[in-house]
């Protein structure tokens, strides 16, 4: 395979979307531990087989595409707090970044055909889902 | 904004690439805690400002695009072990999945202009980088 270069681009396809009582970006919590409600993840029938084996109680990482983010912002004041120094977005969890991927570690509460209910998710209703992954020990033991 | 639907697609652009002694997918470790070597993350000059503030010792999550993965695989035997039951890829960390995003939690070892050196990274040389994020307490305390 030829060497990649940084002008490469790739096509990400939504595999589902978030269904949540959160509909307003302005009032949504910034992080899941700040009062985010349960949500449903609705999946496209085309990816049904990819959900096989996921059980209530599983910890998963949901990857979303934060489609309302500003991809041109490279640095900002963390949490919009002007008293905090401007920081490059790669050192933060700002939704605004060149590729606005959201990572959400959640616990599966219920499993239905083509749907998973999860605990506290801060993404708003309609947010596209692009991937779901198992949590590894390596994600949580390396601090 | 109009409601998203699951036929949506999005353009992901590489912001950098992995520089590693690992060049062979067949012999690369499957996970970072299985003998992955240090690596350099080389960034595109266009995203230099997004790196501001990242320091040696920081824990970050690197998001890669696993460009050699098979996007058509929805279920497989974990770790390629035929004795294990076929599992949907959303319940695993298989690189093969509809959107082959890789998540790598690593520690920053050194910072140079447009480059970060990180400890154990299992991605092979040339793998495109699409995002970098801070690690949150929420990523590691919810198990």
The answer to whether residues A134 and A58 touch, using CB atoms and an 8 Å cutoff, is: yes
**A126 in contact with chain B, both atoms CB, cutoff 8 A:** yes
Q: What is the pLDDT along chain B (143 residues), one digit of tens a residue?
A: 444 444 699 999 999 999 999 998 887 787 777 778 999 999 999 999 999 999 999 999 999 999 999 999 999 887 788 898 889 999 999 999 999 999 999 999 999 999 999 999 999 999 999 999 999 866 654 33
Structural domain includes residue B11: no
With a CB cutoff of 8 Å and minimum separation 6, the contacts of B125 are: B18, B19, B20, B21, B22, B23
- The runs of H, that is alpha helices, within chain A are 137-140
Which chain B residue has the Cα nearest residue A89? B50
Q: Pick from A17, A58, A92: which is nearest to B91 by CB?
A: A58
Look at chain A and report how many structural domains it folds into: 1
- pTM value is 0.90
Residue A109: count of CB within 10 angstroms of its CB: 15
* Average pLDDT along chain A: 89
| Residue segments in chain A with a per-residue pLDDT below the cut of 50 | 1-6, 141-143
Pairing mode, if any, of strands B75-76 and A9-13? unpaired
- The runs of H, that is alpha helices, within chain B are 137-140
Res A140: pLDDT: 53
The residues pairing with A49 across neighbouring beta strands, listed in sequence order, are none
* CATH, residue B26: 2.40.30.70
Structural domain includes residue A83: no
With a CB cutoff of 8 Å and minimum separation 6, the contacts of B117 are: B38, B39, B40, B41, B108, B109, B110, B111
**A40 in contact with chain B, both atoms CB, cutoff 8 A:** no
Structural domain includes residue B2: no
Structural domain includes residue B8: no
**Residues of chain A with C-beta less than 8 angstroms from the C-beta of B101:** 63, 101, 130-131
Structural domain includes residue B3: no
- Show the domain range for A21: 16-70+99-135
With a CB cutoff of 8 Å and minimum separation 6, the contacts of A112 are: none
Res A7: pLDDT: 61
């Amino acid at each position: 395979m030829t060497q990649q270069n940084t002008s490469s681009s790739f096509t990400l396809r939504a595999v589902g979307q978030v269904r949540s009582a959160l509909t307003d970006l302005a009032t949504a919590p910034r992080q899941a531990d700040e009062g985010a409600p349960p949500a449903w993840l609705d999946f496209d029938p085309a990816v049904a087989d990819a959900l096989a084996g996921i059980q209530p109680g599983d910890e998963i990482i949901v990857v979303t595409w934060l489609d309302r983010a500003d991809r041109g912002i490279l640095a900002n004041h963390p949490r919009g707090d002007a008293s905090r120094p401007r920081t490059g977005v790669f050192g933060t969890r700002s939704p605004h970044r060149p590729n606005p991927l959201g990572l959400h570690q959640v616990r599966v509460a219920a499993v239905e055909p083509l749907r998973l209910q999860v605990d506290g998710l801060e993404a708003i209703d309609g947010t596209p889902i692009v991937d779901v992954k198992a949590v590894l020990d390596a994600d949580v033991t390396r601090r």
